[in-house]
Amino acid sequence: MSTVQNKQQGKQQGRIGKATSRVDGKLKVTGQARYAAEFPAEDLLYGVVVSSGIARGSISSIDTARALAVPGVIHVLTHENRPSLPWFDRSYQDDDSPSGSPFRPLYDASIIFSGQPVALVVASSFEAARHASALVDIRYKADKHQTDLDAERDAAYAPKQGKDGFEPPPKPRGDADAALKKAEINVLADYATPVEHHNPMEMHATTVLRDVDGNLTIYDKTQGVLNTQQYVTGVFGLKQEQVRVRSPFVGGAFGSGLRPQYQLFLAVMAAQELKRSVRVVLTRQQMFSFGHRPATRHQIALGADKSGKLLAIKHQTVSETSRFEDYIEVVVNWSGSAYQCDNVTLDYKVAALDVYTPLDMRAPGATLGVYVLESAMDELAHATGVDPLALRILNYAEQDQNTGKPFSSKELKACYEQGAAKFGWDKRNPAPRSMRRGKTLVGWGMATGFWDAMQQPASAKAVLSVDGKLQVSSATADIGTGTYTAMTIIAADVLGLAIEDVNFTLGDSSLPQAPLEGGSWTVSSVGSAVKMACEAIRDELLSIARAMPDSPLAGASAEDVEWTEGRVQRVGQPAASLEIADIMRSKGLHSIEHAVDQKPESKQKKYTMHTHSAVFVEVEVDEDFGTVAVKRVVSAIAGGRVINPKAARSQIIGGVVWGIGMALHEETMADHAMGRFMNHSLAEYHIPVNADIHDIDVIFVEEHDDIVNPLGAKGMGEIGIVGVAAAIGNAVFHATGKRVRELPITLDKVI
């Protein structure tokens, strides 16, 4: 594959920035889109996982006789009869694993978390496997366990920077303790957030198709087919050409598909052991047995003068991790870069519990840390008598004090201005309990959102046929974010083609490499590669066109022409044009193909690159019952260039809805005496429903940034949720005069 330098795009009829319906929408609504558990196979076997009933200890005995006696049952895999694998020497880690020793299913008799897979029943039908799974008789020796973060808080430790690229808190600047003592106004508060689980609609599943030569085609629910492929080859000692992974559609993931989950391992192990095709699908309850947003405990202190000017910030966080890996997030760093303050101390520690390792969940770290910071800023606004919006503008940061770097772009003030105008913030009565509507208290709150704008190396291939059809491909994913459509728009924009004439392929490990889909970096990374591949085709076409006999484009530069409707023409001169098909035929070309590898440009290292938002919320609180309803939300986003406003708006709305859930509903409750999650179903794990969601307005603030990537796009997947919970909590305080510092804000805490 060749590396192609980015060139100026030239003038053309643009597709970018126009609201475009999903190109994959019809397949999804008509049921033609197939997910990991829906691909057919001849002679397919079905595996059902048996889960541990204790949180810590060991297996004393496993009796599989009754299960094996069920008609149709082929095998029951346990730690006693599983095959030996290269992975069991603990040498292999996947691309998204934190530092430590990854969990290895069926390795030995040890139990290290509740719900741990301890057996796989394989049968010729799902029904037989499910029935037999209940007949596996397992006896345990239970050891003392600890799943309560508060009980282990004093034993928390500072994690080391590992291979996952964790950015530790910056060193203290100034003297925060001394500044707090001198400050005229102090805010000292403890905040707490609970465990949350991802709960995508599609449960994790793997279908392994094994051919007669032992080659595997794997359909997996994943946010990165290449990561799955590397995992399987590394764990099972296979060659890359023996394993092909496909994941054309994903029914939501939110981070749960970044790491290979244990159903993948068990399905491949069974397929290899039995030399058959195997499918393993986790139950909804088992979706609570791997990964989650970690519980956190925070102490935050803000010091300011009477005007509200920040003099000191201290933010200390303890987060949970497992005993076998150090899961770490960037939680407190935001408190050092969000606002101008010369005295800052940040501290982040983790406490090991008898749980599965937590897992990235939409806007990991920022969702938690910014919630605490923005809640404390509202407390400071109340203490100083300064309007919450005015307080943030007063302490506006013109550069990142954590690093001393300027921002590549920052239109946060425009977010404040446009969001406040749309919301009507100037009509807010600042006194708590001062606004009413009938029998309900009305509260208005706001918060700022922050997220990293990142770019990763990625590759893409583009093939233009003489019939005017463009095929573009990259091994990225679409977890419901609209990747298919965004890449189609980018490709069509470069060559001035109709959306219908472009086909983008993803979710296949045989395609050009791409990073995991996460972190809001897919458009910036894969989109930049798609742009460059299509530009290489465009440049070749223009070169041919200039050399054609009597060419109307002779001597034309890239800036002199525009690409539209399958033609290239001099700018503003439709008569001076050539059909793309005629250009290709002049050279006898049936197709033009270019593959590119792109990397972030070195100039990015000189800047801090962030996406910003301002969230304004109105709540109604029933004074008698303490129930909270979010009636209005305005979210103003500065996210660089917006590729598809229609999909981007949906991304932000989805993030806002999740923020409402975080603030008012979501909590995975644990029985610490048993060490297990109790509300492990969608019936008892509370999330917002239609009746909970009212008016949500999204504003995209114009922002130009030529540093972040060639497209100038920052990504929208994560920023939508950041700051929403804080804005709601702040609104609840404004409505009631009561500050709830422990999420979720349930009626018992309000009254």
Q: Which residues are catalytic?
A: 718
Count CB neighbours of 575 within 10 A: 7
> For residue 251, which of 206, 204, 288 has the smallest C-alpha distance?
204
Under a CB-based contact definition with an 8 Å cutoff, are residues 552 and 545 in contact? Answer: no
Residue type, 325: E
Backbone φ, ψ for residue 329 (5° rounding): -130, 160
- Residue 157, classed as helix, strand or coil, is strand
Report how far apart the first and last C-alpha atoms of the chain are (Å, whole number): 64
The set of long-range contacts for 436-440, using a CB threshold of 8 Å and a minimum separation of 24, is 437/620, 439/622, 439/623, 439/624, 440/620, 440/621, 440/622, 440/623
Radius of gyration of the CA atoms of the chain, in A: 27
Q: Which helix (H) or strand (E) holds 677?
A: strand 676-677
The token duo for 256 is: 């749960």
Q: Can you tell me the distance from the alpha carbon of 281 to that of 294, in angstroms, rounded to the nearest whole number? A: 25
Q: Can you tell me the distance from the alpha carbon of 172 to that of 345, in angstroms, rounded to the nearest whole number? A: 5
Contacts for 118 with CB less than 8 Å, ≥ 6 apart: 50, 51, 52, 59, 62, 78, 79, 106, 111, 138
Biggest CA-to-CA distance, the chain: 87
Q: Can you tell me the distance from the alpha carbon of 567 to that of 577, in angstroms, rounded to the nearest whole number? A: 7
Count CB neighbours of 456 within 10 A: 18
- Residue 354, classed as helix, strand or coil, is coil
The token duo for 371 is: 């919630």
The token duo for 63 is: 């009796």
Dump strand ranges (E) for 275-398. Answer: 278-281, 296-304, 310-322, 325-326, 344-353
Q: What angle do CA 349, 353, 355 make, to 5 degrees?
A: 125
- Residue 70, classed as helix, strand or coil, is coil
Residue owning tokens 């490499």: 513
Count CA within 13 A, CB hemisphere, residue 598. Answer: 34
Give the ranges where 287-348 is alpha helix by DSSP (H). 334-337
